Chains A and B, each alone.
Chain A
Amino acid sequence: MHGFANPARFLRIARWLMPLCMGAGIVVAAAALGWGLFLAPAERLQGETVRIVYLHVPAAWLGMAGWMGIAAASFTELVWRHPLAGIAARACAVPGAVFTAVCLVTGSLWGRPAWGTWWVWDGRLTSMLVLLFLYFGWMALSQASEASDGGQGAGRAPAIFGLVGAVNIPIIHYSVIWWNSQHQAPSITMGKSAMAGAFLWPLLIAMLGFTLIFAGCVLARMRAILADRQAEARLRRKALSEAEF
């Protein structure tokens, strides 16, 4: 793993991996959405409204995956002090928060025709809203610690926050199993699905496509953060050498 500790080596790989993820992700996600929106059947009870599932479920998965990324990077940062870990955590935050917000908005739009309400305070919806607020808090904390330690790593505090916040992820998942809730139990669990194949396949492909887009965003943001650091270091050196004269 420490082969990737060298940012120059990471940048060499990210330079071609980022557009590859992005391009493949856009093609796969667009194909899956086309399939889901135009070719997949309507649902027996829900009718056409079921089609929002092809956006809602990938967004929910990536909202949670984004925080799992922050938690994994935080763990790496705290134990191995890997120089890219803090950067990877910061790169996961914005895409993760965006997908969480998309999940909440599409869920609300879906709730109105399916349940008869835009919002209810049940376990699943509330824990997902908490996840969005955790992202906002994490971003504020990582900005603050970045500003205070002069850009030397994302800092210890956001890493601890990232790990503690990960407790919410199993709560989101099990909220519909532990507690009676308005939201239904998971349709897709390990190895089986309560969803007919006509819905399942476009959904799984949409999840793959959006995951690739997510990975592309994270790589692009990591490159941008590294470039920022480099530019800052160069400016600092320049200011120092000018000060000597």
Chain B
Amino acid sequence: MAIKAKHQRLVLLVIALVVLVAAGLLAAWALRNQASYFYVPSEIVANPPRPDRAVRLGGMVEKGSLKTEPDGVTIAFVVQDGKARVPVMFRGIVPSLFVEGSGVVAEGRLGADGTFVADNLLAKHDENYVPREMRDMTSQQARQVVAETK
């Protein structure tokens, strides 16, 4: 029985697609470090960038760590990822979503003393969407409420 032309095309195309997807996944895998938008504190601590190199540091603002310096415009806080902590200094206006216990991306340089001096701060919000009425709850309670809607 002769193989129908359309069956041949189907098999060839499926093979081509499998190869294509594999190539795409390999490329993405190879990019997994280079394509990241920021380093997390444990990466910065394990492998500190040179002081003249501009890098981005991303993580959570540690609760209770946010302090305003006596000059009134410089703030200091700690960014942590659960494994390591990096102290950060920033002078300027912070985005309105920048709060303790929330995500942040800081652009700047790691000083020789291990303090990260940021030129720019970006707030990073997480995937949780919680109505304002729940704002007085702790994040634990809010997660509970969200979990109930799943």
- The stretch among B46-54, B62-70, B72-80, B131-139 that forms the contact with chain A is B131-139
Residues of B within 8 A of A194 (CB): 126-129, 146
* A67 CB to nearest B CB, Å: 14
**Contact in complex: B149, A79 (CB < 8 Å):** no
**Contact in complex: A178, B9 (CB < 8 Å):** no
Question: At the interface, is chain B mostly helix, strand, loop or mixed?
Answer: mixed
**Contact in complex: A199, B129 (CB < 8 Å):** yes
Q: Is residue B112 within 8 Å, beta carbon to beta carbon, of the partner chain?
A: no
- Chain B, residues 9-43, CB within 8 Å of chain A (1/0): the string is 11001001100110110001001100111111000
Q: Is residue B45 within 8 Å, beta carbon to beta carbon, of the partner chain?
A: no
Q: Is residue B150 within 8 Å, beta carbon to beta carbon, of the partner chain?
A: yes
Residues of B within 8 A of A45 (CB): 97, 99, 102, 125, 130
* A62 CB to nearest B CB, Å: 21
Q: How many angstroms from the CA of A196 to the CA of B129 in the assembled complex?
A: 6
- Chain A, residues 186-198, CB within 8 Å of chain B (1/0): the string is 1100011111111
Residues of A within 8 A of B149 (CB): 193, 195-197, 200
How many residues on A have C-beta within 8 angstroms of the other chain's C-beta atoms? 49
Chain A, Cβ-Cβ closest to B129: A195
Chain B, Cβ-Cβ closest to A121: B37
- Chain A, residues 73-96, CB within 8 Å of chain B (1/0): the string is 001001111000000000000000
Chain B, Cβ-Cβ closest to A200: B149
Q: Is residue A167 within 8 Å, beta carbon to beta carbon, of the partner chain?
A: yes
Interface centre among A113, A163, A184 (most CB of B within 10 A): A184
Residues of A within 8 A of B140 (CB): none
- The stretch among A5-13, A36-44, A221-229 that forms the contact with chain B is A36-44
* B9 CB to nearest A CB, Å: 5
A76-126 interface (Cβ within 8 A of B):
78-81, 113-117, 120-123
Interface centre among A121, A163, A180, A182 (most CB of B within 10 A): A180
Q: Is residue B117 within 8 Å, beta carbon to beta carbon, of the partner chain?
A: no
Q: How many angstroms from the CA of A116 to the CA of B96 in the assembled complex?
A: 8
**Contact in complex: A116, B95 (CB < 8 Å):** yes
Supplied contacts A43-B130, A163-B20, A167-B24, 19 more A-B pairs, CB within 8 Å: A42-B131, A116-B94, A116-B122, A121-B37, A122-B37, A123-B37, A164-B20, A167-B23, A170-B21, A178-B35, A179-B35, A180-B40, A181-B36, A182-B38, A186-B127, A192-B150, A194-B146, A196-B149, A199-B129
List 7 tightest A-B contacts by C-beta distance, closest first. A116-B95, A41-B131, A122-B37, A167-B24, A195-B129, A197-B149, A180-B36
- Report which B residues bind A (CB closer than 8 A): 6, 9-10, 13, 16-17, 20-21, 23-24, 28, 31-32, 35-40, 58, 94-99, 102-103, 105, 121-135, 142, 145-146, 149-150
